[in-house]
Each structure stands twice: as structure tokens, then as C-alpha cells.
Chains A and B, each alone.
Chain A
Amino acid sequence: MTEYDEGKVKNTENIVCDLCDLPLEPAKTVLTYMRSTFATILLRCPKCKQCYFPEDLALGQAVEVESTLEEK
């Protein structure tokens, strides 16, 4: 998920964590699927670590990654 590499992921929508009242920041986040584990950059609350997986990512690149892992 290269487009979501560090530097490209920005909190342009100014989304804040409602729990901690802090703006989300890009941070390395671990994802797992089909016995594979890898890290990517997602927006995340610096305090409580709640993260954000945007819609375009879920419906785009994530589907490709899922298919690849399912077909490996």
C-alpha cells in the first residue's frame, strides 16, 4: 500500500479522536490477514492509538492486497 507510505498520509480532513480530543497523525500500524502480517501508515490518535482506515483505501488498495493474500 505504497500510496499510504509515510509522508503521503496526511490528516487533510482534520479528523480528531473524539475520545482524546487530539488530531490524528500518521503512524505505522500493523495489519494482518491470511496469516500474513505487515505494517503500513495510517492516521492514528497519538494517545489512545485509535486509527482510521479511510473508505477509498478500504475499497481500493485494500481489496487488491486482500486478493493477493488470498491467492498467494
Chain B
Amino acid sequence: MGPREMRVVMRACTQEEPPECTATCPVHFNAKGMCKNLLEGHAEKPLETYQAKVLFPRLVSAFCLAPCEGRCAKQRAGQAISIRALEENMCRQAESIPSPAKPLLDLPKTAAVIGGGIKGLACAFQLYDKGFKVSLYEKEDRLGGHGWLLDAELARLDFALLDDMPWKVHLGVNLDEKSIREEIMPVYDGVLFATEAAPISGLSWDEQTNQCTSQPKLFWCKHPCPSPYSIIDAVACGRKTATSAERFLKSVSLTASRQREGSYQTTLYTDIDETVPVDRRVPYSKPWPRDAAPLPGDPAPPKGIYSAEDAGKEAARCIQCECMKCVKQCVYMQEFESYPRAIIHEMATHIDMLVGQKQSGPLINSCSVCGLCTQLCPYDIGMPQSTRGARVHLVENGDNVEATHDFPMRDLAFSNGENYWFWSHGPDQKASRYLFFPGCQLAAVLPELMLPTYQYLRQKLGEEVGIGLGCCGAPAHWAGYDEKKKDELGEILTQWREMGEPTVIAACPTCQQQLEEAEPTMNILSLWQVMAQQGLPATEKQRPRPPLAIQDACGSRHQTKVQDAVRELLAAMGCPVEELAYSRENTKCCNYGGLVAYANASLAQEALAERLSESDADYLVYCGACREQCQRGGKTTWHLLELLFGEKQPPTVDISLKRDNRIKVKQDFYQFIKKDAWTPSMEKIHLIVSEEVRKTLDKRLVLEEDIQRVIEMAERTGVRLKKADGRRFIAHSQLGIITYWVEYEPVEEGYVIHSAYSHRLQIVEDVKKPTGSKK
């Protein structure tokens, strides 16, 4: 997925869409923003905006029929916000209301507006604001029309500013058709009619633009005012007609980008499940004209004036409509204080603008690609497609930061290298009906349980159960190395085909996902489905347990059968379970997913900690990575296999032990199937590493294997530094793209490791050393 496709996804996120109140308002006043400003004590800001939108703030706020309230999302959890009353209150409390700003432009073109009522004034204001020279013709002896009928005092206040407008006003002029044709049309560049009746007979008018179809310079606010009179619709109608005239006078398209003129339906999703229903805090006065006279006993209708406290309380009821449904559950988006539309936009721009430069960015690499956002989104929009797409795009263009994913990619190479990769039919078998594929992480974390699981499968399914040890390529998938992923999966499929395409039994939900995607014809089952069907192993001892909270793997988000099978097994074991608030299809990632821990370790830890805090119970997992992450996060965590086959919990793994464990698993299977011992080709020098140093190495992603290679090179070539004590040496070596440094001390039994570290900067050095080894 490239930037173009990312932008398509981005546009479907509705977070930036206006709230219902704004979309419904014919002139799109932002009542949500008003409530926020009122709460913050800034009434002047919304008042200025309000004036600019409605033009006659006192009249509109007092007599608007408030269509916004009819669609206010708050209605779904109580009563709508009293938007109109708040607006009226805001206007009445203001000492003065700002006049419209002076136009920025002074254009030579002229426009005549025939009719000086609300619509005509709206036309005049808008054209004046855009810089045109406006002339107004009104048959009565004052401007304002219907406004005076609503409330003479408010009309007087609102229309006072007309005196300052530099318009040519012609009062008491009743233009007939002839004078319009002869005196007006030849003189002005545009003529706008704001009259109830058709100004010139026999003309037709375009519905969308209010433009005359035969005389393009003529425009008519032709929509009759609804009954009861709606002042805001009159303003909107005048504005719409003026927009058309303005575009005509500027010779631009009259129809482009006008889909959202007037009231429309917003696509913004607002989750109000968590809002407490609160009814209006203060009595509500219906706008004029009232539907019915008050009944005896009704409280006297207020005049739309709140006390400062009541206005604050009413504004505080606004739930500030927004979606953020996914963001509320995603530490990654919270960390970047953003939401899918903005993040994807930034990523797309990022990769678009930086072609040819090495570039990545934490934004792209900090998403766990777990898919919870997509699951929660009312429009099925989420981050995974885009974050992974961006990573793939960067890799394909050579713009990724290789070092970010160097460790997991080397780990993948390890799993699919001689130390773990092993495919075979069962002992003394020439065919396989089934193939057990434990994956790389589970074997790395729980090596002791791989062979017992395999033996269980042979016992239940017969002897034709083969074994496949390797990595499904998920790290390459997450890092964006799609070619590499294809190669790794290709190797797996080759082995699988050579073994006669047996039914694959996957222990890891992510492996299952990757394999299903790579080869849709592959018959693949989850280990848990097989076990739920075949029954518990004979060795399983039922024992009373406290409830375990199930941490569903994000890879199994859409594998309902797998989730069910896990629960069936736990029920069969008599193990009480606790469902986390976010479980099954709504589960949260342990943050191994997406390789976040390598790109943004602190974020991964934070997200994991949040997940682990959801329950005080021990966690039950069925994914090797979840097992490791949860335990690293300090939570007592049981893998399902540990309940089924384990006696006691193995020690918490570190990065080096995970490698040794995979070697051990290969050795176990090799011994069991081939009845022979297998030893790795790389001869290991013996390291003596204290527990403290081991923890440091784990944190710094320095493997014992890296240390062994550095020391081996130093001892062989003699290129090393000596510390003042004469016992400790410092050596370094660039392995791939990372340079490793080791401070060590040779002793009789091997090498004591005092410290090791690495850096990404590469030293350009040309060590002049004697040929051959030193010693």
C-alpha cells in the first residue's frame, strides 16, 4: 500500500468530520466549539464566529428553530443541549457584538441586491465580505424586512450596523420588470433577487445554484420561507445565492464542492455509551412561535437568559462529539496524540516527500499492527494496512532504517537457519498425514513442552505426524520486508509439499494466519482445536486453581474457533477463567506484535503494563510471544501447554536463552526422530556471565553469540585493547550493520564478560594488523 492508497483509507476515518450540530445548522455554526469556549470562559470567541455565520446574532439566537438540537447526539443519552438558549444567552450577556470584519479585497465588479429583508441582507453581507461593490434596493422605507416582525428591539440592535456598511442603499424603490431589465441589468455585473415573488416572469432557475438558466448574471433566493418562519434558513438561502453570484463574478465553477452546503448528514461517529444521561439542567424555553400555550402548573418559561452558573452547567453537558473510539483503546495513538486520519496523512506525506532519503520514523514503526482499531471502528478503518504498507514502501525504496528491525530479522534468520530449521516425518515414517508446526517463539520460550506436545499428537492422531521447525516469516511481515517474507514462506511451502501436503497443526495463531494467507489450499488446524477435539492428555492433572484471565492473542482476533477451543480446554481442566474487558475479537496485543518493542521499547512497555493491569488474576495465554511478554511485564502468566503438560514454570527467558532453547528443541526432535544427536556447527567458546550482566545484555539486545564472535575474532587476530590492569580486554566487531563491543577477561574456564554494548554508527577504520594470527 503506497501513499495514494493510504490516503483513500485515511479519508474514511471520520474523526475530523463535523459534529451533528454543525452539520445540521444551515450555516454550519460550531455549537460544540461554543460549548467548549463557554466552559473555558471565552464567550467572546464563539460570539465573533456566531456573528460571522448568522449575521444577525440577537434575532437568530432568539428566534432560530434550532434544527441542531433536533439532531444533537446528546439526545441519545438524555436531552439535547439547549444550543439556542446558550446562543441567546451569549448574545444578551455580551456588552457589544463585533461588527463584520472589513473585506480583505476591493474588487471592481458590482452587484445589485433587490430586496432588503433577511435574505437580501445576507446576500449583501456575503458579497461585501468578498470585496464586491454592493447596491441594495428595498421597496419599504427601511431594511430588515421580516426581522422587524420578530422583535423590534432586537432588530434595531442587529440592524444598527447597517448604517456603517458602505453600500448604496435605495429605499422605497419598487422595481417592476421593465425597470429591472432597463435600469438594473445593464448597469450591474450581477443581480440578486431576494424577493418572495418571481422577479421576472417566464424565467427558469437552477435548483442547485439559484442561477437563472437563460440570464447567467441573474440569481434568485427563490426558496420560500418555511412556516413557521425560520430566520436561519433565510440567512442560509441568501448566503447560498450569494455564493453562486460570487463564483459567477469570479468566473469559477458554480457547482464544484457544494455538496455540503446547508444542512447535511455528518459521518462522524460518536460513541455515547459511556456518557451519563443528564437532562437539561435548566428550564428550556421553546423558540418563537411556541407550539402551545403553557399548561397550568408549568413553570414560567424563562427568557432565554441563564445565570453564569447555569450557562456553564448547560455547556458542560455537551459531550464534545468525536469518534476516537479506537484511540481510547490504543496506547500507540494516545502516545502520538493523534487518530488514524491524521496519523495516516502524516505517514503518507512522510514517505511521499522523502523519496531517496533514508527515512522511517517512530510513527510508522510503533504500531503493533494488532488490528483492534479496525475491529472497533464503525467504518472498519484502522492502522495496520497503512503502517505495514508504509513499512513495505520504505523497504522497497531503500528508505527504511535497517537497524530498527535488525535484531528480529536476524532472529528470523536464526530460526530458519541450521540451528532450528528441521523438517521430518515421524520416527521410522515415510509419510505424514499431519505436520506439527510449533513456530519459533513458543519453542524459544517453552522448549521442554515441544516434544511432549508432539508425542501427544502422535498418540491421538497416529504415527504419521511429522514435524516442521521454523519461523513463518511474521517478523519480516511486520518489518515490511515482503520479499523476505515471501522467501521464508516459500521455503516452508516447499517442505510442506515435499512431505505430501499434510494437515498442518499450528501452535501459534500468527503462524496460522501467515500460512493461511500464503497458501489458501493448505489444510491448517490450530493445536487447540485438535486438543479440544481429541481430549486432554493423560498426564494432565486436575487441580484446583484460582481463575486465570485469558489474554487472547491478537493473531487469533478473527479465529473464533481457536478462541472457543482454548476455553473448552480450560473448562475440561476445571480451570475457572476470567474474561478481560477486551478479549476475543477485541483483544489487545502484548506488544510483541508489529515489533514495537524494537522500534519503541518504552511505548511497548507502557502498552503492556496497561494490558497487564486489567486484572489482578494470573494470565492465561496460548501464544509464545504473549507468554514471554506478559512474564517480562511482571505478570505470572501460564501458557496453555504449561497447564496441560508442565510441572513447574521454566525460568523467564532472555534473548540468548531463547536461542539456546531453539537449538535444544531441534536437538530433542532430532534425537527422537533420527535417534541420533545433533550439534550446531558453530563451536561456542565458554562465557561466564553474571546474572546482572545477563540482564543488561538482554536489555541492550546483545546476544551471547555476538559476544562469542567478537571475542573469537579478537583472540584470533590479536586486535584488542588492554585495560590498565592488564587482565581485561576490550574488543569490537561490526556484525552486519551493528558494531558490538565487549569488555572481557580470559580465565582458565573461559571468558568472564564484564560488559557489552553496541552502536549503529559505523567506524571507518583500517586497522593495520600483521598477517596471520598473533598467537
Contacts and interface: CB of A to CB of B under 8 A. Distances in A.
A26 to B, nearest CB: 14
Interface in A8-57: 13-19, 24, 29-35, 37, 42, 44, 47-53, 55
A55 B721 contact: no
A58 B723 contact: no
Contacts of B755: 55
B437 to A, nearest CB: 36
A59 B622 CA distance: 36
Given A19-B769, A58-B758, A31 B722 contact: no
Which of A19, A52, A59 gathers the greatest number of chain B CB atoms within 10 Å? A19
Interface stretch (B203-211, B353-361, B576-584): B353-361
Given A53-B739, A65-B761, A18 B358 contact: no
Contacts of A42: 763
A33 B741 CA distance: 17
B757 interface: yes
Contacts of A35: 357-358
B217 to A, nearest CB: 56
B682 interface: no
Interface in B716-764: 718-724, 729-730, 732, 739, 741, 743, 755, 757-764
A29 B774 contact: no
Contacts of A65: 761
Nearest to B770: A19
Contact of B721 (A18, A33, A66, A72): A18
A19 B765 contact: no
B430 interface: no
Contact of B760 (A24, A30, A33): A33
B606 to A, nearest CB: 19
Contacts of B758: 58
B730 A19 contact: no
A51 B718 contact: no
Interface centre among A18, A51, A69 (most CB of B within 10 A): A18
Contacts of B741: 53, 55, 58
A53 B759 contact: yes
Contact of B724 (A14, A34, A72): A14
Contact of A55 (B757, B762, B763, B764): B757
B767 interface: yes
Contact of A29 (B359, B404, B764): B764
Given A31-B762, A59-B757, A62-B761, A19 B361 contact: no
Interface residues of B, number: 37
A32 B718 CA distance: 25
A32 B174 CA distance: 83
B358 A70 contact: yes
A51 B765 contact: yes
Interface in B337-368: 357-361
A70 B741 CA distance: 22
Contacts of A37: 764
B732 A53 contact: yes
A29 B765 contact: yes
B735 to A, nearest CB: 15
Nearest to B718: A19
B1 interface: no
A49 B765 contact: yes
Nearest to B755: A55
B768 A51 contact: no
B757 to A, nearest CB: 5
B746 to A, nearest CB: 12
A15 B723 contact: yes
Contacts of A49: 765-768
A41 B759 CA distance: 16
Contacts of B361: 71
A37 to B, nearest CB: 8
A18 B759 contact: no
B401 interface: yes
Given A31-B762, A33-B761, A50-B765, A15 B721 contact: yes
A12 to B, nearest CB: 10
B768 A47 contact: yes
Given A16-B721, A19-B718, A70-B360, A31 B761 contact: yes
B767 A48 contact: yes
Given A35-B358, A50-B721, A58-B758, 11 more contacts: A18-B718, A29-B765, A48-B768, A50-B719, A50-B765, A51-B765, A52-B721, A52-B730, A53-B739, A55-B755, A70-B360
16 contacts: A15-B722, A15-B730, A19-B718, A19-B719, A29-B765, A33-B760, A33-B761, A33-B762, A42-B763, A44-B765, A50-B719, A51-B765, A62-B761, A70-B404, A71-B359, A72-B357
